[in-house]
A = this chain, B = another copy of it.
């Protein structure tokens, strides 16, 4: 495009971004896309050899856009493109945008499969299409051979060509490559592909890898380091497609089941920090090897990584002693995003590969919560979103485009089945669903690995194979909620011993009572202590949420997202019956899976998301529950089922149950006080800071 466009030039509309512009006839579609900032990958620099820049012309009359688009409006396949088609083939209707030129009005489709995978779209398409903008770009160049008249070094001539052909000036080069440049240039007969990493605008782009000839593969990993499980996606940075997804247990478990016991291990053992760091790095390395093997990808082609994790996982991965996070004031060593090198951490991917770690929000609200925020986007919408990730600590985020607040609350391990007499991890033999008949107080339940419910024919035979060994986290919520709905426990959480007269399932255990969920040689009881443990955990969660609602000055939330494994298995209805979460339209309560990992994936595919979450995290108002005198009262109120002061009218309507049980035990039982005006809320906020 040598002259500015004018009104008689063809109009080109790119889908799905909707970006449009006029371009002189003969402009390549790739140049037009670049001019408009539409991301179309290209490695070969317009030589029609890499095949990455495929597009499709949508034929037809697009009245809304006043465009009639036709394949007649794009140049015929020329010799270079034909050579590619003959050699590699192109799907029906596809063209190489570097070779195809604009000859008339066009609606150009940048195929979805090369934009981003479907899963990510589901998560993030709340308000927009993901535009890819990865931190790593592959650039093929043909370098001048050495010339004694102009004795520029091989690396210097490579840089000059990356500037001329791709516009990269001021390139730095990774130290490890310097001794390799000459050999690679000669092996490629002066044609080489450079991987350029640029992330922050203020930082110089960097040649991080170099291959002889045209190199057409670049991958990244997005990794969520959980205390229990490490989850990883392997993604093509060129197509945006997820190549493989896998998980592995966090081997740090052998040093301590929960986070605080691992911090204790570090405090007690001089080599503890090093051992925990090595364990997690080795596990990430091994998982990387695994996803690469599954995807048939050479680990040397993995050039970028995005890592999230809670603050303790984040710190241990970076080799930082987490002791400060185990005690007030819970000081993070680093809260901002971290840019580092895979090689320093020994991940076994390309020597030049980079690592980006999302920012941490606060001492107990980590980069995993930041990832979940990036994925679910409370800051991108006007509705008030509650985002909860339940673990030993619950990370709680509440907000909308106006303001986001965050806190953590010490729920303890009860929700994960620890501290529960018959609690166990979700595994074959664990009870995962429970119903109790309010009349007879008889239960029925479902067991992982058995198709039938316990009251269906064939259950005992099938259960005999796997065994019925305990109750997993999701079923603990259900059984306590069902006990409440059946009247076995009171609002205060006390098992009503008088019902022993009515049902033999109410059993005395010392001075308290239990509910016999399963009879037989391996009896499964829900004890008064179990109910208490759940009450304490749910009270901590609810009090944290309530505190944030007060900070936002709202009485109800519009939507609730449960992130993490716990959220995927529990039934939102029972979570609400028990009072884990506030009243909400049940259709608006959803499990969002590993949202932290999805956020990492988004940051891997576009550095725009990195800037977005950095900016968002800086603006998030952090609430430290330990510093809030009011928190204790909220906690006490939340010990009641579902809550001492709050009512749950939406839930009551949805589950068609007697309103008494779900309208709270508040003095008046009214369905929620009036909402404050916007002005009143703003005034309160300026007080809170």
Give A contacts to B, CB under 8 Å: 145-156, 159, 170, 172, 175-176, 178-179, 181-183, 200, 202-204, 318-321, 324, 328-336, 338-341, 344, 360-363, 622, 624, 626-627
**Residues of B close to A318: CB separation below 8 A:** 178-179
A181 in contact with B362 (CB, 8 Å): no
A153 touches B332 (CB 8 A): yes
Closest residue of B by beta carbon distance from A331: B146
CA–CA, A328 and B145, complex, Å: 12
A-B contact pairs, 19 of them (CB 8 A): A146-B324, A146-B329, A146-B331, A148-B330, A148-B624, A149-B624, A151-B622, A153-B335, A154-B333, A156-B334, A170-B200, A172-B339, A175-B344, A178-B320, A178-B333, A178-B338, A182-B321, A203-B204, A204-B204
A328 to B147, CA, bound (A): 9
Q: Which of B150, B175, B182, B333 contacts A324 (CB 8 A)?
A: B182
Give which listed residue, B151, B178, B624, contacts A362 with CB less than 8 A: B151
A182 and B333 contacting across the interface, CB-CB below 8 Å: yes
Contact A319 B179 (CB under 8 A): yes
Give A451 Cβ to nearest chain B Cβ, in Å: 48
Q: Smallest CB–CB gap between A349 and chain B, Å?
A: 16
Additional A-B contacts beyond A146-B331, A178-B340 (19; CB < 8 A): A148-B624, A149-B627, A151-B329, A151-B332, A153-B331, A153-B332, A154-B324, A154-B332, A155-B335, A155-B336, A159-B336, A170-B200, A172-B203, A178-B320, A178-B333, A178-B338, A179-B318, A182-B321, A183-B321
Rounded to whole angstroms, the CA-CA distance of A46 and B147 in the bound complex is 53
Determine if B148 and A627 form an interchain contact, defined as CB atoms under 8 angstroms apart. yes
Contact of A202 among B179, B204, B332 (CB under 8 A): B204
Interfacial chain B residues near A179, Cβ < 8 Å: 318-321, 333
Which 9 A/B pairs are nearest by Cβ-Cβ distance? Answer: A153-B335, A146-B331, A153-B332, A151-B362, A148-B624, A155-B334, A153-B334, A179-B319, A146-B329
A203 nearest in chain B by CB position: B204
**A333 cross-chain contacts in B, Cβ below 8 A:** 153-155, 178-179, 181-182
Least Cβ distance of A194 to chain B in Å?
Answer: 14
Q: How far is the CB of A165 from chain B (nearest CB, A)?
A: 19
Q: Are A156 and B336 in contact (CB under 8 A)?
A: yes
A183 contact set on B, CB distance < 8 A = 321
B156 and A331 contact, CB distance less than 8 A: no
Q: Chain B residues with Cβ under 8 A from A324's Cβ?
A: 146, 154, 182
* Assembly CA distance A147 to B622 (angstroms): 11
Contact A341 B202 (CB under 8 A): no
User: Quick one: closest B residue to A201, CB to CB?
Assistant: B170
Chain B positions within 8 Å of A203 at CB level: 172, 203-204
Which of A151, A172, A624 neighbours the largest number of chain B CB atoms within 10 Å of its CB?
A151
Q: How far is the CA of A565 from the CA of B661 in the complex (A)?
A: 97
In the bound complex, residues from chain B placing their C-beta under 8 Å from that of A182 are 320-321, 324, 331, 333
How many whole Å from A540's CB to the nearest CB in chain B? Answer: 17
Residues of B within 8 A of A330 (CB): 146, 148, 151
Alpha-carbon distance A137/B549, docked complex (angstroms): 47
Give every chain B residue within 8 A of A341 (Cβ-Cβ).
175
Chain B residues with CB below 8 A from A175, complex form: 340-341, 344
Min CB distance A591 to B, Å, is 28
Q: How far does the Cβ of A314 sit from chain B's closest Cβ, in whole Å? A: 10
Docked complex Cα distance between A321 and B154 (Å): 13
Assembly CA distance A320 to B341 (angstroms) = 22
> What is the CB-to-nearest-CB distance from A345 to chain B, in angstroms, rounded to a whole number?
9
Kindly state the separation between the CA atoms of A331 and B144 in the bound complex, as whole angstroms.
Answer: 12
Chain B residues within an 8 Å CB radius of A147: 329
B contact residues around A363 at 8 Å (CB): 148, 151
Residues of B near A145 (CB, < 8 A) are: 329
Contacts of A338 in B (CB 8 A): 178
In the complex, are the beta carbons of A626 and B148 less than 8 A apart? Answer: yes
Q: Which residues of B contact A152 (CB under 8 A)?
A: 332, 335
In the assembled complex, which residues on chain B have CB atoms less than 8 Å from the CB atom of A340? 175, 178
Separation in Å of the A626 CB from the closest CB of chain B?
7
A614 to B261 Cα, complex, angstroms? 55
Q: How far is the CA of A200 from the CA of B332 in the complex (A)?
A: 31
Q: Is the CB of A149 within 8 A of B332?
A: no
- How far, in angstroms, from A329 to B148 measured CA to CA in the complex? 6
- Please give the distance in Å from A172's CB to the nearest CB on chain B: 7
Q: How far is the CA of A384 from the CA of B55 in the complex (A)?
A: 61
Give the residues in chain B near A331, CB-CB below 8 Å.
146, 151, 153-154, 182
Q: Which residues of B are found within 8 Å of A178, using beta-carbon distances?
A: 318-320, 333-334, 338, 340
The residue on B at minimum CB distance from A319 is: B179
Which chain B residue shows the least CB distance to A182? B333
Q: Which of chain B's residues have a CB closer than 8 A to the CB of A622? A: 149-151
> Chain B residue with minimal CB distance to A148?
B624
Contact at B360–A153, with CB atoms within 8 Å? yes
- How far does the alpha carbon of A159 sit from the alpha carbon of B492 in the complex, in Å? 50
Complex Cα distance, B185 from A321, in Å, reads: 14
The residue among A318, A329, A332, A336 with the most chain B CB atoms within 10 A of its own CB is A332
User: What is the distance, in angstroms, from A173's C-beta to the closest C-beta of chain B?
Assistant: 8
Taking CB atoms, residues of chain B closer than 8 Å to A339 are 172
A178 to B277 Cα, complex, angstroms: 14
Residues of B within 8 A of A361 (CB): 151
| Residue from the set A200, A328, A333, A624 with the largest chain B CB neighbour count within 10 Å | A333
